[in-house]
Amino acid sequence: MLTEQRAEAAPREPATPTVDRRLLRRQRRSRWDLKVSPYLYVSPFFVLFGIVGLYPLVYTVFLSVHDWDRLYYRRGGFNGWANYDFVLHDPVFQKALVNTFSIFLMSSVPQIVLAVVIAALLDGQLRGRTFWRMSVLLPFAVVPAAAVLIFGSLLADRSGLVNQVLAQIGDWPVLHQLGIGPVAWHDHRWWSHFAIAGMVNWRWTGYNALIFLAAMQAVPRDLYESAALDGGGKIRQFWSVTLPMIRPTMVFVIVTSTIGGLQIFTEPRLFDDTPNREGGADHEFMTSTLYIYVKGIEDQFYGRASAAAVILFVIIVAIALLNFGLTRFLTRRAEK
Amino acid sequence: MRKRTAPTRRLLAAAAAGSLLLGLTAACGDNSDPTKSAKQESLGEGDQLTITTFGEFGYDELIDQWNQENPDIQVKQTKVALWDDWKNELNTDLQAGSGLPDVVAIEGDYMPAVVAAPDRWVDLSQSEVDGRWLDFKSAAATTPDGALLGYATDAGPEAICYRADLFKDAGLPTDRDEVAKLMTTWDDYFSLGEQFVKNSDAYWYDASGSVAQAMLNQVPYPFEKSDNAVDIENDGLKNVYQTVSSHVGDLSPQVPQWSDDWTANFADSKVATVPCPGWMRSNIKDNTGDPAPKGAVWDVADVFPGGGGNWGGSYLAIPKTSTHQEDALKFITWITAPEQQAQIFEKYGNFPSQVDALSDPKVTSFTDEYFNNAPVGEIFADRAAAIDVQPYKGPLYSDILGKFQDAINRVDAGKDPDESWATFEQDVASLQ
Amino acid sequence: MSRRSSTATGRPGFLVYGLLAAVVLGSALPLYWSYMIGSHTKDEANDSPPPLLPGGHFFENARRVLDTIDFWQALLNSLIVATVCGVSVVFFSTLAGYSFAKLRFRGSSTLMGFVVMTMAIPTQLATVPLFVLMRNYGLLDTLAAVALPTLVTAFGVFFMRQYLIDAIPDELIEAARVDGASMLRTFWSVAVPAARPAMAILFLFTFMTVWTDYMWPLVALQDTETLPVALDRLALTGQGQTTDYALVLCGAGLATIPLLILFVVSGRQLVAGIMQGAVKG
């Protein structure tokens, strides 16, 4: 609306013919500049994204309906649904899917609850505000690969500090009856999920807390005042004012943590202490991304790996749509 | 506001088509052919010939020596701890067609996979090495067309290593000849174990996986038939699985071989016997500690339950991606020569697969102080002669073996053997 | 955002500080553990109970790390890739974000919708074809292969657009055009200065994302290493023997230092960036 009018408002009556031609050329160039520039500016993104983002996705679909020659790393013939058939009936894939969701739930739910609590703690007239904010973000600055190695040593099944402590306090009278003792962090399926989710939570809770904190600070303060007038305590205010007001942010965090949570790879790969590194001896903590890596890059079943990727893609898109619907539902309700 | 749907759509379509086209042309780029030899270059100043080994090949001193004697061909070794890791990396590098060193160390079990894709590897046959190795070793690296794709390094004739002090405490004989008489069959071996654990805190063997693999090396067709069709329902394999599973509760420490806990058991005097190919001696030495903890006495018995068996033994191969194939060939011809392997045997225990090395007095008269001065040269030569079955290994052998070890580890971790077997069947199905 | 008076929430009490201190402790403890174990000898590290105070062998272990993996090369590689991606993402995102935020062109809203949609696409899923693509181009085992997939991000475009919509008054652009400045000039003289704070934040984010990525470098690189891949190799070297936690955790600690420095220097901006992104997103 702004620039088009400007361009047309360029002088129309030139003083001399030479100036006229020059001006005309300039005007034409300017017009062309105006028309083409926006496309020029956005095109690098679309071209690059097309090559390294979109094209590989399309190629995934293509590979997923073809054979792959493992010995010579060449594409084989078209084989229809065979890869999909294999993956869908592969118990390891099913297991990986369940693991992925289990780890995802164990990480996102406590993470969001904790993040909201930490945000509420930070949302006040704290002394040394920046210090506290930066401190909760500290784990975000640790390379995950390093973090997994550190947690791996803490959670080693026999020699790890955590199990040594558990063994110690497991000898105490009451705790002994409660069955507290060392935990098979690697061998036991759900405990291994718990361990991996713990690492994910450690990295992301502070980050999400800051996002919630931003949302909380955007809450108009007169809402608190009127709640206070109604005689609500701090906890009540939190439930009746803060939580409803940060609901859109909540959805945003849930969406981003869904996309991230369904792609966990570093943790299960580096947490593994078996030589095959396929998510434990019994694939007890193999995730679907790890499945794609093992099937594709390590075992060289490109077709099957691609089919698994397509299936996962569909699942993620479905969840994203669900999230989207949920967001609209929630924001509409909030508007009412 | 103007209506913008039509042009927008056209534009979008054009953008999508454009990016797709770009992508497609990208994908149709030159498919580098893995079967073609790389362009050969000569080693310049500061260039090095690269070799990657796994575990302990015992090459450190020999490569130093070679580098001093051959200033033109400087060799640099990269050591990877575990074969499984190196195998994964090797596989990825082969797919990538890049990242491979000039010389690649390959575990014997993986050789069939190499032979199945012969034109990715340099044919190493030359008159100089005819008859250098035991027949079964060179046969395993030779294609039907007669191309030799790997130079054998060592062989793995198996004996039994045992802790004489723990035997004594449990009331068993300690003399290596007497011990040998007590475990000529697997039944004897297991029942001796049952007797042992009654009187000792230690476990009878180091790991279920270790015994399983030892037994597997006596099965003629463990995973694949002679036409390379996968067959895991054979009696030989089932027998190994059932026998080992049935002893999980009493004789096995229930830790995966090569794990931290496995290693720790050696120093804690928790391991009484180990199925012991020549190269295992250096693992035992490292894990138990050298010098040995007070009172710990390892010994080697000239026996292997059920006859002889070969476990392991590796090869060196040259991928066609190497740009220094000639120099690489010179180097591996030298380092796999009988004299060099005999020297490795003395220091590291990797038993030679070279015919001449087997009669080398350096080998035959060698005794190992750490193993109670056992005449290990003589013992392992005997064990090599006792090998009467060479299991058939197809291209998937190494992959299936990995899954089989997983199956055993699951039983050790408390899983029901039948359930674990079912998972194994699925794992194997997913390899085909 | 309206400033809140202190009466609304009041000064937090000891309980709040106590709980926050516990959170901070939890954040820092694993790092403490790694430097602590990393400063003991292998045998001390495997003691039971383990040592709880730092020992005096950190530099000795550090030297062992440097002997085992090519730490400096990996560090340099990580630095190169993360910087290239950071600069590239910032540049292209600012360009596209400005165009989407301030310029009118046909298809603008549809294309923007496409950008938002692609933010939800998990690109990790296309690892296998990306690997094939890089192989066909002979790019495997090069830093270019690592950098390529992150030269542009949909998030970057989205982020810059959101920022620039409010950051540049339309009058400024009009004025520049009246002065006869070309579009590109307007971009340089008006948009870029206004976008600077957001550019810094976006650079920081991209840098950290690329620096910490493990999966794609693992796939794309064979001989070359970035820091996370080198760490992986370090952890594997000891296998088959008792894990040398002193070595591994010293390496993990070393690998953490560069980002920690960046964090200390620019943590304030990072915090601001996360909080800003949240309100706008």
Per-residue pLDDT reduced to its tens digit, A274-301: 777 889 878 899 999 999 999 998 888 9
Same domain flag for A45 and A139: no
Most confident segment among A167-181, B330-344, C55-69: B330-344
> Residues with Cβ < 8 Å from C74, sequence gap 6 or more?
C225, C226, C227, C229, C230
Mean pLDDT taken over chain A: 85
Domain B7-155+311-364 has CATH 2.60.40.10: no
Number of separate domains in chain A: 2
Domains of chain C, earliest start first: 70-280 (1.10.3720.10)
The answer to whether residue A10 sits within a structural domain is no
C31 in contact with A, Cβ within 8 Å: yes
Q: Which of B81, B96, B258 sits opposite C141 (nearest CB)?
A: B96
Same domain flag for A180 and A285: yes
pLDDT score for B119: 85
Name which of B272, B284, B262 is nearest B196 in CA terms.
B272
Residue C68 has pLDDT above 60, yes or no: yes
- Tell me the pLDDT tens digit for each residue of C124-150: 888 999 998 888 888 888 899 999 999
Q: State how far the alpha carbon of C276 is from the alpha carbons of A85, C196, C202, in Å.
A: 46, 14, 12
Residue C86 has pLDDT above 90, yes or no: yes
- C240 vs B15: CB contact, 8 Å cut-off? no
Residue C1 has pLDDT above 80, yes or no: no
pLDDT score for A5: 40
Rounded to the nearest angstrom, the minimum Cα separation between B348 and chain C is 16
pLDDT band, very low/low/confident/very high, at A240 (cuts 50, 70, 90): confident
**Count of CB pairs separated by less than 8 Å, A with C:** 319
- Tell me the pLDDT tens digit for each residue of B323-336: 999 999 999 999 99
Q: Which of C9, C46, C93 sits opposite A125 (nearest CB)?
A: C9
**Count of CB pairs separated by less than 8 Å, B with C:** 79
**Which tokens belong to B213?**
């693999």
Same domain flag for A268 and A151: yes
B81 to chain A: nearest residue by CA? A275
pLDDT band, very low/low/confident/very high, at C75 (cuts 50, 70, 90): very high
B260 in contact with C, Cβ within 8 Å: yes
- A249 vs C278: CB contact, 8 Å cut-off? yes
pLDDT band, very low/low/confident/very high, at B245 (cuts 50, 70, 90): very high
Question: Mutation test of the interface with chain B: which of C67, C112, C140, C152, choosing the one with the most B Cβ atoms within 10 A?
Answer: C140
The better pLDDT of the pair C275, B174 is held by: B174
Rounded to the nearest angstrom, the minimum Cα separation between B409 and chain A is 7
Residue C267 has pLDDT above 80, yes or no: yes
Residue C47 has pLDDT above 60, yes or no: yes
B7-155+311-364 and B158-307+378-431: same fold? Answer: yes
Residue B37 has pLDDT above 80, yes or no: no
A273 to chain C: nearest residue by CA? C239
- A126 vs C270: CB contact, 8 Å cut-off? no
pLDDT score for A332: 66
Residue C6 has pLDDT above 60, yes or no: no
Contact B133, B354 (CB under 8 A): yes
Average pLDDT in the A14-39 region?
75
**Strand A74-78 to strand A66-69: parallel, antiparallel, or no bridges (unpaired)?**
antiparallel
pLDDT band, very low/low/confident/very high, at B33 (cuts 50, 70, 90): low
Average pLDDT in the B118-126 region?
91
Most confident segment among A176-190, A285-299, A317-331, C237-251: A285-299
pLDDT score for A326: 76
Rounded to the nearest angstrom, the minimum Cα separation between B418 and chain A is 14
Cβ-Cβ contacts under 8 Å, A298 against chain B: 88, 91-92
Same domain flag for A94 and A60: no
DSSP string, C14-45: HHHHHHHHHHHHHHHHHHHHHHHHTTS-HHHH
Same domain flag for A59 and A99: no
Residue C198 has pLDDT above 60, yes or no: yes
- B32 vs C133: CB contact, 8 Å cut-off? no
Residue A187 has pLDDT above 60, yes or no: yes
Mean pLDDT taken over chain B: 87
Contact C137, C71 (CB under 8 A): no
Q: Which of C106, C137, C219 sits opposite B7 (nearest CB)?
A: C106
Q: Which of B26, B82, B430 sits opposite A275 (nearest CB)?
A: B82
Residues of A near B (Cβ–Cβ under 8 Å) read 46-47, 49-51, 54-56, 58-59, 71-74, 86, 90-92, 156-159, 184, 187, 273-277, 281-282, 297-300
pLDDT band, very low/low/confident/very high, at A28 (cuts 50, 70, 90): confident
- Tell me the pLDDT tens digit for each residue of A135-166: 999 999 999 999 999 999 899 887 788 988 89
**Which tokens belong to B27?**
């994908």
Percent of chain A with pLDDT over 70: 92
Chains contacting C (3 or more CB pairs within 8 Å): A, B
C68 in contact with A, Cβ within 8 Å: no
**Count of CB pairs separated by less than 8 Å, A with B:** 99
CB atoms closer than 10 angstroms to residue A248: 14
Helix (H) or strand (E) holding A20: helix A17-49
Q: Which of A42, A259, A270 sits opposite C96 (nearest CB)?
A: A42
Residue B256 has pLDDT above 50, yes or no: yes
- Domain residues for the domain of A218 are 84-335
Same domain flag for A53 and A125: no
The answer to whether residue A301 sits within a structural domain is yes
- A130 vs C268: CB contact, 8 Å cut-off? yes
pLDDT band, very low/low/confident/very high, at A243 (cuts 50, 70, 90): confident
Percent of chain B with pLDDT over 70: 92
Cβ-Cβ contacts under 8 Å, A225 against chain C: 8
Rounded to the nearest angstrom, the minimum Cα separation between B94 and chain C is 10
pLDDT score for A333: 63
The answer to whether residue A26 sits within a structural domain is yes
Residue B27 has pLDDT above 50, yes or no: no
The better pLDDT of the pair C120, C114 is held by: C114
Same domain flag for A236 and A184: yes
Cβ-Cβ contacts under 8 Å, C1 against chain A: 217-218
- B27 vs C136: CB contact, 8 Å cut-off? yes
Cβ-Cβ contacts under 8 Å, C99 against chain A: 37-38, 41-42
pLDDT score for A208: 92
Q: Is B271 helix (H, G, I), strand (E, B) or coil?
A: strand
Q: What is the CATH T-level fold of the domain B158-307+378-431, as seen in this structure?
A: D-Maltodextrin-Binding Protein; domain 2 (3.40.190)
Same domain flag for A36 and A162: no
B15 to chain A: nearest residue by CA? A46
C95 in contact with A, Cβ within 8 Å: yes
Residue C5 has pLDDT above 60, yes or no: no
Q: State how far the alpha carbon of A47 is from the alpha carbons of A25, A51, B22, B23, C149, in Å.
A: 31, 6, 8, 9, 12
A52 to chain C: nearest residue by CA? C149
Same domain flag for A104 and A43: no
Report the range of poorest mean pLDDT among A125-139, A317-331, C36-50, C120-134: A317-331
pLDDT score for C279: 55
- C1 vs A217: CB contact, 8 Å cut-off? yes
Contact A292, C127 (CB under 8 A): yes
- B283 vs C240: CB contact, 8 Å cut-off? yes
Residue B18 has pLDDT above 60, yes or no: no
Average pLDDT in the B14-25 region?
47
What CA–CA distance (Å, rounded) separates B218 from B129?
29
The better pLDDT of the pair B43, A38 is held by: A38
- C20 vs A145: CB contact, 8 Å cut-off? no
pLDDT score for A19: 64
Chains contacting A (3 or more CB pairs within 8 Å): B, C
Q: Is B162 helix (H, G, I), strand (E, B) or coil?
A: strand
pLDDT band, very low/low/confident/very high, at B296 (cuts 50, 70, 90): very high
Same domain flag for A217 and A103: yes
Residue C233 has pLDDT above 80, yes or no: yes
Q: Is B351 helix (H, G, I), strand (E, B) or coil?
A: strand
Residue A70 has pLDDT above 90, yes or no: no
Q: Which of B88, B117, B409 sits opposite A71 (nearest CB)?
A: B117
A200 in contact with C, Cβ within 8 Å: no
Rounded to the nearest angstrom, the minimum Cα separation between A169 and chain B is 23
Rounded to the nearest angstrom, the minimum Cα separation between C221 and chain B is 8
Q: Which of B93, B260, B263 sits opposite C222 (nearest CB)?
A: B93
- A53 vs C177: CB contact, 8 Å cut-off? no
pLDDT band, very low/low/confident/very high, at B32 (cuts 50, 70, 90): low
pLDDT band, very low/low/confident/very high, at A97 (cuts 50, 70, 90): very high
- Tell me the pLDDT tens digit for each residue of B196-205: 999 999 999 9
Residue B8 has pLDDT above 50, yes or no: no
pLDDT band, very low/low/confident/very high, at C242 (cuts 50, 70, 90): low
Average pLDDT in the B32-45 region?
74
Residue C255 has pLDDT above 80, yes or no: yes
Residue C236 has pLDDT above 90, yes or no: no
Rounded to the nearest angstrom, the minimum Cα separation between C58 and chain A is 16
A270 in contact with C, Cβ within 8 Å: yes
Same domain flag for A177 and A205: yes
CATH no. for residue A267? 1.10.3720.10
Rounded to the nearest angstrom, the minimum Cα separation between C142 and chain B is 10
Average pLDDT in the C21-50 region?
87
pLDDT band, very low/low/confident/very high, at A2 (cuts 50, 70, 90): very low
Residue A258 has pLDDT above 90, yes or no: no
Rounded to the nearest angstrom, the minimum Cα separation between B410 and chain A is 6
Residue A203 has pLDDT above 90, yes or no: yes
**Which tokens belong to A214?**
């931003």
Average pLDDT in the A73-86 region?
87
pLDDT band, very low/low/confident/very high, at B26 (cuts 50, 70, 90): very low
Show the DSSP H helices in A65-218 as ranges.
82-89, 91-122, 129-137, 144-154, 161-169, 173-177, 189-217
Residue B5 has pLDDT above 70, yes or no: no
**Which tokens belong to B38?**
């790389």
pLDDT score for C123: 75
Q: Spell out the domain ranges in chain B.
A: 7-155+311-364, 158-307+378-431
Backbone angles phi, psi at B272, to 5 degrees: -95, -40
pLDDT band, very low/low/confident/very high, at C241 (cuts 50, 70, 90): low
- A143 vs C259: CB contact, 8 Å cut-off? yes
Cβ-Cβ contacts under 8 Å, C30 against chain A: 139, 142, 147, 150-151, 154, 202
Contact C94, C157 (CB under 8 A): no
Residue A334 has pLDDT above 60, yes or no: no
Same domain flag for A40 and A119: no
pLDDT score for B2: 37
Beta strands in chain C (DSSP E): none
